[in-house]
Amino acid sequence: MGKGTFRARQAGLAVVMTAGAALAVAVPAAATASGAGTHEHAAVATAAIGGTWEGTYTCSQGLTGLDLKISRPGSGSALDATLSFYPVPKNPAVPSGVFTMTGTYNSAASITLQFSRWVRQPAGYTYVDLSGRLTGDKFHGTVTSGPGGTGCTTFATKKLHGSYTRKRVLGKWKGKYTGCNQGTTGLTLTIKARKSGNRISAIFKFYPLPSNPAPAKGSYLMSGYYFPGGIQLNQVRWIDNPGGYSMVNIVGGAPRHGRISGAVVGCTAFSVKRT
């Protein structure tokens, strides 16, 4: 989804490839010769493209996280998808959003997904379409911005195997963050599930470290989302305000080796380890 002129159409962030009819490709003769051939083609399509895909795409707002959940609603080559976009540590100011898509599996070299409806639309963002191909466990191609939008280029995702639920990030994480005015500061994040889906909440607790005893102690509530590719947590309200401090938002990558690292918006970086 883009912004500005992608604005994604603000162009916001949608990823609906305008590739539509122009990119449609006829189904191979072998697949249309009989009902059995059609079903076989559909089965191959389901096995190949169905599932969860995680990666990034680029529009005018810069590099953006991309989560695609793709399924086949019937016995043909039609596809349904849910596209989620979100900030990544290299570009943490991007908001997150969700919209549904419909599309067609023409062949491994011609897969189109087009915008259907918004589930959660951030202000100033609009949808985009995707047109791509399969290369092994990778689904990649072109991002086409919607009406009035420009600045989108490509997307690249990898198919996920196994469990990637939000349980991966729930619990207590301890470490530090840097780049704010007070210097390196201790950080404890306690992350909990919030309602259903991929929503999460957290308590951000900061405190002094032996190497830098100057920072005060404080804590505040955060709310955000989990994606297989990372987390987004935004400030909500103070729990313990020491005065003279401001709350921050954070964007983290996927947990790796029991650690989450990422960006502190307005400061620099954070890194925490599961305790």
155 and 170: one domain? no
Tokens encoding 115: 């915008």
**Tens digit of pLDDT for each residue in 80-120?**
999 999 999 999 999 999 999 999 999 999 999 999 999 99
Residue 26 has pLDDT above 50, yes or no: no
pLDDT digits (tens, 9 = 90+) for 209-234: 999 999 999 999 999 999 999 999 99
Closest CA to 69 of 90, 58, 59, 55: 55
Q: What is the pLDDT of residue 30?
A: 34
Task: Give the pLDDT of residue 38.
Answer: 52
**Rounded Cα gap, residues 131 and 104, in angstroms:** 10
CATH number at residue 176: 2.40.128.120
d(C-alpha 89, C-alpha 153), whole Å: 20
Q: State the residue for tokens 């122009």.
A: 22
- Which of 43-57, 123-137, 145-159, 229-243 tops mean pLDDT? 229-243
- Look at residues 110, 143, 159 and tell me which one is the last residue of a structural domain: 159
pLDDT (0 to 100) of residue 31: 35
Q: What is the pLDDT of residue 74?
A: 74
b or e along 84-115 (b: 16 or more beta carbons within 10 Å of the residue's beta carbon)?
bbbbbbebbebbbbbbbbbbbbbbeebbbbbb
Domain that holds residue 112: 7-159
- 3-state SS, residue 121: coil
At residue 47, the pLDDT reads: 66
Q: Which of 116, 140, 159 is the last residue of a domain?
A: 159
Are 129 and 188 in a shared domain? Answer: no
More confident residue, 21 or 161: 161
**Region label for 79, one of left (φ > 0), alpha (ψ between -120 and 50) or beta (otherwise):** beta
Asked if the model's pLDDT at residue 164 lies above 60, the reply is yes
CA distance 97 to 84: 6
Average pLDDT, the chain: 85
Question: What is this structure's pTM?
Answer: 0.81
Whole-angstrom distance between the N-terminal and C-terminal Cα of the chain? 36
Residue 36's pLDDT is 46
pLDDT over 60 (residue 45): no
Tally of domains in the chain = 2
> Does residue 126 register a pLDDT over 80?
yes
Contact by Cβ (8 Å): 173, 272: yes
> Residue 143: is it exposed, middle or buried by C-beta count within 10 angstroms (0-12/13-18/19+)?
buried
d(CA 26, CA 178): 55
CA distance 111 to 173: 40
pLDDT tens, position by position, 169-206: 999 999 999 999 999 999 999 999 998 889 999 999 99
